A = this chain, B = another copy of it.
Amino acid sequence: MASVKDVARLAGVSVATVSRVLNDSAPVTPETRDRVLAAVAELGYRPNAVARSLRTDATRTIGLIIGDILNPFFTELARAVEDEARGLGYSVVIGNADERPERQDHYVRTLLEQRVDGLLLCPTAEITPLVRDMVGDGKPLVFLDRTLPGLDVPTVRADGTAAIGELVGHLRRLGHRRIAFISGPAFLSTGRERTAAFAAALRDHGLPVRDEYLEAGDFQAASGRASAARLLDLPEPPEVIVAGDNLMALGALDEIRSRGLAIPGEVALASYDDLPWFTHVDPPITAIGQPVQELGRRAVRGLVERVGGGAGESVVLSARLVVRRSCGEHDSMEGSGPQ
């Protein structure tokens, strides 16, 4: 491949001059400039970002480690991150942790070695030694969606506490009393938060918190299905199943369908996370939606600020309830709820 040297030779100038026109980092006469550009075109010269990064100690690249690339929530998040980053002149390298701590660490390591300028991490586990080191090293880092307590790292996330409260109130008004929750892993902040919010909401509405109605899932479809099965096998099964994320909702749906149960007649269903196709299920699924675009945008801005030497601050947005028909709502209620 052609290098600056080749371009310089062909244009009859020094490599310094080539660099100057390419980055217009210093004044160059129009004529030499043209000569250089002509040489660039003729040789099909393409700057070597690897060499540039070595020299400048910056890659204009950020890493994004997501929990699970097959989870539409993360996919949408990745898309938002990518869009914002591109606008700011950064490339993003995505790592898929697949909800496995060791794979998360694999990507942390790889991205660090690739010398990304900063890292957006949706932590898949409790604090790993590697992550702790990274914080100590002062590499620009921002947590996204999930957080890790005890670490001084800016976090961009959506809080679902209020929305879950609304959901439980909504269910209560519909006459439901036996409400079950399939939670995410307790070692994830989102898992903990949603579970705690659910229990609190139950209490707020004078409903008992029954252990057997609290299933521990792992944010994957299979666990949603298994949890739903256990719930439906209970001597006194719940009237409503609330899934802690969209994948587990899909799993629960699988289980309910396979038993030929009517929704919401025999069991109602609601989901944390909202998806386009929830509209098309019969009945359409009542869900809690997150401001995904905004999460991605804010995270990138915060990270880039840190890369530039700024402080970076945590931001907490709000999730919101989207009422549809899967919980026994009447016609008049659909689409209600806070916008």
Q: Which residues of A contact B (CB under 8 A)?
A: 1, 44, 46-51, 53-54, 59, 61, 69-70, 72, 75-76, 78-79, 82, 86, 91, 93-94, 96, 106, 109-110, 112-115, 133, 137, 221, 250, 253-254, 257, 276-277, 279-282
Contact = CB atoms under 8 A, between A and B. Distances in A.
A123 to B, nearest CB: 19
A45 to B, nearest CB: 11
Contacts of A277: 250, 277, 280-281
A146 B94 CA distance: 23
A50 B250 CA distance: 42
B75 A70 contact: yes
Contacts of A114: 49-50, 61, 91
A94 B85 CA distance: 14
Contact of A49 (B48, B115, B137): B115
Contact of A69 (B44, B79, B254): B79
Contacts of A106: 86
20 contacts: A49-B113, A49-B114, A49-B115, A51-B54, A69-B78, A70-B75, A79-B96, A82-B96, A86-B106, A91-B93, A91-B110, A91-B114, A94-B94, A221-B276, A250-B280, A254-B279, A257-B279, A277-B280, A277-B281, A280-B282
A69 B48 contact: no
Q: Which 4 A-B pairs have the closest CB atoms?
A: A282-B282, A49-B113, A50-B53, A277-B277
Contacts of A75: 69-70, 75
